[in-house]
Amino acid sequence: MLATLAICTLRPTGPISLGHVMSVRRNNHFIPEASLLGPIKKHVLVRECRRRVPLALLNPEMDAGNVSMSDLASQICNQIASIFAKPTSPYPPALDLILTELTTVASRKGRVFLYGVGREGLMLKALCMRLFHLGLSAHFVFDMTTPPISSNDLFVASAGPGGFSTVDALCSVARSQGARVLLLTAQPKSGSSVKHASVVAYLPAQTMADDAANSEEGEGGEIGRALLPMGSVYEGAMFVLFEMVIFKLGEVLRENPEDVRARHTNLE
């Protein structure tokens, strides 16, 4: 079966340029846009897929195996970066919200507790580590040394698809103890965890709640493989968001690199 390229046509507006071809996908894989500029002579802009053209008609030598690591990495990074350009109203920007909550709890010498399931949990563990490096008392729930939460503390949890039974339960416990609950989610209106949150940080990214709806059906009815499957877009956005948070928080707390490095473990 011929490999195909999903493209869309737009009314002629002039010669095609690199800016016109933003993202072109081969069997649901993003491919380097620059490689298409030569073969494509018409005015093409990827907006919504309307027809599928055999890849060989555009460039017979093009193949998924020829995509370089840097091109593939760029496509992945661009897809994650696009999440932060999406509107979140009426919810405030996630970066501002998280920074405000963390700054407030740090100013009153409160503790930060974090929890997430699966890969979301791994992203929150990374944030927990960096918060400790910045001098905050940070704890990942279920670690053996996790202290009791109190009204002076902040609980940060994630439920990308909207809710998980463990996240719901822990958010409820944190609220019952008077703690602030900051919930990260991609489903702020329908998720079960939202009702337990004091504030909601909305990340408008694909998760397992809507990955099937965002998949494309190829020739013969098969579903193409996404570049970032299931909840990978949301999880990648979490990591990038948390790096921005740590950068900004370090400025607010006036932490210099030497102080941060001094808190890193030497038991390695």
Q: Which of 156, 50, 49, 157 is closest to 102 using CA atoms? A: 156
Helix, strand, coil tally for the chain in percent (to 5): 40, 15, 45
251 labelled catalytic: no
118-132 in b/e form (b: 16+ CB < 10 A) is ebbbebbebbbbbbb
Q: And the tokens for 152?
A: 């002076």
Q: What are phi and psi of 165, to 5 degrees?
A: -60, -40
Catalytic residue among 33, 101, 120, 235: 235
Q: What are phi and psi of 61, to 5 degrees?
A: -90, -10
Q: Nearest 5°: CA angle at 106, between 102 and 108? A: 125
The whole-angstrom separation of Cα 231 and Cα 241 is 15
The alpha-helical segments, DSSP class H, found in the chain are 55-58, 69-81, 94-107, 118-133, 165-176, 232-253, 257-262
Q: Known catalytic residues?
A: 235
